[in-house]
Structure 1
Amino acid sequence: MQQIVRLPFFVVLMGIGAIAMIVPAGHAAVMEDFTTMRVFFYGFILFSILTVLIALATSGYSPANVARSQLVGLLSAFSVLPVMFAIPFYVAVGNTTFVNAWFEMVSCFTTTGATVYDTAGRLTPSLHLWRGLVGWLGGLLIWVTAISIFAPMNLGGFEVRATASAGQGAARSYTQIDKIADPSERLLRYTLTLTPIYAGLTLLLWIGLVVMGEFPYIALIHSMSTLSTSGISPIGGLYFAASRFWGEFLIFLFFVFALSRLTFSKGMIGEGGKGLRRDPEFITALVLIGTVTLLLFLRHYIGAADQNEPAQLREVGAALWGALFTVTSFLTTTGFESHFWDGATVWSGLQTPGLFLIGMALIGGGVATTAGGVKLLRIYALYRHGEREQERLLHPSSIGGGGREARRVRKQGAFISWVFFMLFALSIAAVMLMLSLTGVQFETSMVLAVSALSTTGPLATVAAETPIAYSGIPDPAKVILAAAMVLGRLETLAIIALFNPEIWQR
């Protein structure tokens, strides 16, 4: 066991990916889809042998710099592993291109959930299961690496509260990591801690959806998609789900794990004394969800008031629930659309503006969760800074309270949050420009860029004025979007950290 965990991070992930191919192979055997079974079983054999050969070649590898090794390994995982995932998928689908298969796997592994296979019958059930499994593994990877890699390096949103190690302190923090935290031991410890929680929550949601009347196969993929916030569905979303309201209600409860890391990692990174009631991310999420839901509901309510027939209580409740569920889903960057989302349009006669959902996806969920976007903690830091500046305009000599941590969030935390926000905005502009050069229209490129960088693939279908089909964009645009998904998943600051000269000096 020790020999395995001391292998390079990427090699271990490659082995896990190869073993995962047994799942769709076994499912295809039960479904008597022997072509798919053979493809994934041969893929398991091929990549297992390749993993063993690479493991033997790198068995004596010892990283010169732990921080650099972990970041490079994580970047390689999201860049190279989708190629491995795409090979059996490409062969099993048959009538597709490798670019489409690779784009699909990048989308799944980064928990984006964008798909080029719009027709529900295009893929077999085993291939849909592979999509959901890849997304589920990508979500688990984010859970583990966020705490074991990003937290000690003050990346991924942790820099908002721990900015004291910037500048020269960053070099000391990297040195400290080298001395006290072996990469294999740290990753192993958090993997063994978080995997049972992640798998247990998925199993609990799966059982709950089945009890609510959902088909077990569909319930499994939807439960994996909810925990990983990938939004992958074999039936085109929750609109066609058999469980209807009660299934959505159960999924809604599990969205909380994408709003705050304290729901599953309390005490792991020195936050044992804080609960959800004092968590600024969770409070910010409740305020945003409540405000946006109320605005959408009032908009439809006012629109319905002009109609001759009075609204029934059932229609009002359906419209309110559809807005609440969909807004929360896009804030967590899952992208599930409520079955009752269109009911509000029918009730009021007004189209629901997709700009609200784009804004929710841009904000994103909590730090160290599977959600993408700017993250709630950064939004909270910017809000507190703006609140303090407004207070100083009225009382220039006032002193901001809240303690040392609150002052750090309002000052250094807000500064680094603003830097990240500007980098995120520049990334959107750059992706839009490159997409426009491939022939994609400006409005379409804006929605696609936001959906890729926020890892909210269904945004292109739900939030756009007319649904955007990923299958209709050119191959160069798919390559650009795939790179944007990786950038959005790892975040710009983590990529910039690789160019820090201090991290390459040893």
Structure 2
Amino acid sequence: MQRKGLFNIWLICRILGILILLNGVFMLFCLPFAFYFGDGDWEALVKAGAITIFSGGIASLYARKVGYSQEFRKKDGYIIVSLGWALMAFFGSLPYLFSEINPSFADAYFETISGFSTTGASILNDIESVGKGILFWRSLTQWIGGMGIIVLAVAVLPFLGIGGMQLFVAEAPGITPDKLQPRIKETARRLWWVYAGLTGVETILLMTGGMSFYNALNHALTTMATGGFSTFNDSAASFSPYIQYILIIFMLLAGTNFTLNYFLFKRMFKAIWNNEEYKYYIYVIALATFAIGVTIVMTTDLGVEKSFRDALFQVISIITTTGFVSADYTAWTPFATMIIFVLMFSGGMAGSTAGGVKIVRHIILFKNSFLELKRQLHPTAIIPVRFNGKAIKGSITFNVLAFIMAYFLIFGIGILVMSAIGVDLMTSIGAVATSLGNIGPGIGTVGPVDNFAHLPDLAKWVLSFLMLLGRLELFTVMIIFTPYFWSRF
């Protein structure tokens, strides 16, 4: 069949239909908890699941009947990724609407895109009153989103040329630049096993700390996805030290390049420590924890262990963009709170489920800036940026610089838009930073002890778009709004 038109419409429809259908199947996975706890939310899940499965099935089957070319181009990839995530959130919001937990579509969509983007920002004022089936769906959206970002990192974003992700592909087990496509399935399968395996191990360890199976599973799902949704109103604040330390360990692993987690299973410890991004990841966490921990010890009477545990928990929670809360960091000193805010622009490692700018981009930015000083002294010298001891392509450096510039430009525009809507400045800064970075808690009236319910609907739509934008590495969505994307040339 010859391909016609700007896009391979029926191939796009086929893939989107399958994604939507799978989304509906995942909804049905929540039914056992709905029936067991008897909260009456099973009807909403069945209705939402049936509509979603039917819609996805019809789209997929019709596209197959019409027929489509197997040719897959970059433009098709951008449409599938961006529209796929948006449609997953649209259908994923149905359980909230049918259960009347979120009677407003803006609220339901906000909660859902926050789940799929693994942001963790919420509009629920009383989480513990929500039916257990719906609450499990809320956690499951984050686990699905985390699993999806691994697929993107392995198979799609490098193909689309998203800066930083190419470095992940170069290190992923089984992938070589000249044999990328044949090895994608094998690599994705290995990383999925790591992802699912760590989720299972964390569930067991949380249960040994006294958590019920239900709560342990929910927190394991949202930890490995670096999502941060909790089944408790106070998040992790009332958890025992043992459970908090378990969450710390698995948040750290979730924010690590999943290739390195695979190396951990293979006991390739030298390969892990030799990774430059991992070293900086650990150094930043250690330095920020020490600075905040000392500050808390000097200004409170919490004790050394509690002070440093709270500092370590919140530093890792923010840098990995998980968003669990063990303490109100806005109540700490301005110095400690500012460190937390700065970490919101850090992000975890490339190839992890974490959001944000990513450590590797900061490394490349700082290295290139330093080398630019050398180039001023030696204008004719060719001085490449090196990462993990190897020179990286200039195109990747330019892509990273463009990404960081775009990130902070969008951050500034987002603040202006939120302020124009009527949100106060501090809340606008916090809400935009946490949404774009897929973190969860922010500052102002969307801090760690607050939520987003009080914001106007228009503000929630703006933040929903920023969550999607941040999760899909900016360019994947931004390029769709450019005129040359719609050009035939």
Q: TM-score, normalised by structure 1?
A: 0.82
Secondary structure of residue in 1 paired with 2:354: coil
Residue 332 (str. 1) matches residue 320 (str. 2): yes
Q: What is residue 170 of structure 1 aligned with on the other side?
A: none
Taking the aligned partners of 1:90 and 1:235, their CA distance within structure 2 comes to 21
Q: What is residue 286 of structure 1 aligned with on the other side?
A: 282
Q: What is residue 47 of structure 1 aligned with on the other side?
A: 52
Q: RMSD of aligned C-alpha atoms?
A: 3.5
**Amino acid paired to 2:357:** V
CA change 1:462–1:398 in 2 (3 A) is farther
CA change 1:400–1:74 in 2 (3 A) is closer
Secondary structure of residue in 2 paired with 1:470: coil
CA change 1:294–1:6 in 2 (3 A) is same
What do the CA deviations read for 1:75-122 (whole angstroms, capped 9, x no partner)? Answer: 112211211111122111356322211111011111011110022344
Residue 250 (str. 1) matches residue 246 (str. 2): yes
Taking the aligned partners of 1:300 and 1:451, their CA distance within structure 2 comes to 23
Secondary structure of residue in 1 paired with 2:68: coil
Taking the aligned partners of 1:502 and 1:334, their CA distance within structure 2 comes to 33
Q: What is residue 77 of structure 2 aligned with on the other side?
A: 70
Q: Is the 8 A contact 2:365 2:400 kept in 1?
A: yes
**Amino acid paired to 2:76:** S
Taking the aligned partners of 2:131 and 2:95, their CA distance within structure 1 comes to 13
What do the CA deviations read for 1:252-297 (whole angstroms, capped 9, x no partner)? Answer: 2222231323224669xxxx99822121211111111112112212
**Number of equivalences:** 466
Q: Is the 8 A contact 1:157 1:377 kept in 2?
A: yes
Taking the aligned partners of 1:112 and 1:16, their CA distance within structure 2 comes to 21
**Amino acid paired to 2:453:** S
CA change 1:247–1:467 in 2 (3 A) is closer
Q: Is the 8 A contact 1:461 1:467 kept in 2?
A: no
Taking the aligned partners of 2:236 and 2:445, their CA distance within structure 1 comes to 12
Secondary structure of residue in 2 paired with 1:275: helix
- Displacement of 1:8 after TM fit? 2.9
Q: What is residue 482 of structure 1 aligned with on the other side?
A: 464
Which sits farther off after the overlay, 454-463 or 192-201? 454-463
Taking the aligned partners of 1:80 and 1:47, their CA distance within structure 2 comes to 10
**Amino acid paired to 2:45:** F
Q: Is the 8 A contact 1:115 1:470 kept in 2?
A: yes
Which one of the candidate residues 198, 203, 211 is aligned to 2:200? 203
Residue 366 (str. 1) matches residue 373 (str. 2): no
Taking the aligned partners of 1:374 and 1:497, their CA distance within structure 2 comes to 18
- 5 Å-filtered alignment, 1:80-479, equals 80-94=87-101, 96-155=103-162, 157-159=164-166, 181=181, 189-242=186-239, 244-254=240-250, 255-264=252-261, 275-303=271-299, 315-338=303-326, 350=333, 353-389=336-372, 408-409=391-392, 413-460=396-443, 464=447, 467-479=449-461
Q: Is the 8 A contact 1:385 1:410 kept in 2?
A: no
**Amino acid paired to 1:200:** G
Taking the aligned partners of 1:410 and 1:62, their CA distance within structure 2 comes to 33
Taking the aligned partners of 2:156 and 2:281, their CA distance within structure 1 comes to 25
CA change 1:399–1:217 in 2 (3 A) is same
- Displacement of 1:384 after TM fit? 1.8
- Displacement of 1:67 after TM fit? 2.2
CA change 1:273–1:148 in 2 (3 A) is farther
- Displacement of 1:504 after TM fit? 6.4
Q: Is the 8 A contact 1:27 1:126 kept in 2?
A: yes
5+ residue gaps, structure 1, are 164-172, 305-310
- Displacement of 1:475 after TM fit? 0.4
- Displacement of 1:145 after TM fit? 1.6
**Amino acid paired to 1:376:** I
Secondary structure of residue in 2 paired with 1:373: coil
Which sits farther off after the overlay, 247-256 or 222-231? 247-256
- Displacement of 1:414 after TM fit? 4.0
- Displacement of 1:210 after TM fit? 0.3
CA change 1:405–1:29 in 2 (3 A) is closer
Taking the aligned partners of 1:379 and 1:428, their CA distance within structure 2 comes to 17
CA change 1:323–1:145 in 2 (3 A) is same
Q: TM-score, normalised by structure 2?
A: 0.85
Taking the aligned partners of 1:284 and 1:423, their CA distance within structure 2 comes to 23
Q: What is residue 4 of structure 2 aligned with on the other side?
A: none
What do the CA deviations read for 1:452-505 (whole angstroms, capped 9, x no partner)? Answer: 1000112348984x9553110100110111011100111222234544858965
5+ residue gaps, structure 2, are 1-10, 171-176
CA change 1:63–1:474 in 2 (3 A) is farther
Q: Is the 8 A contact 1:112 1:456 kept in 2?
A: yes
Residue 22 (str. 1) matches residue 31 (str. 2): no
Q: Is the 8 A contact 1:385 1:411 kept in 2?
A: no
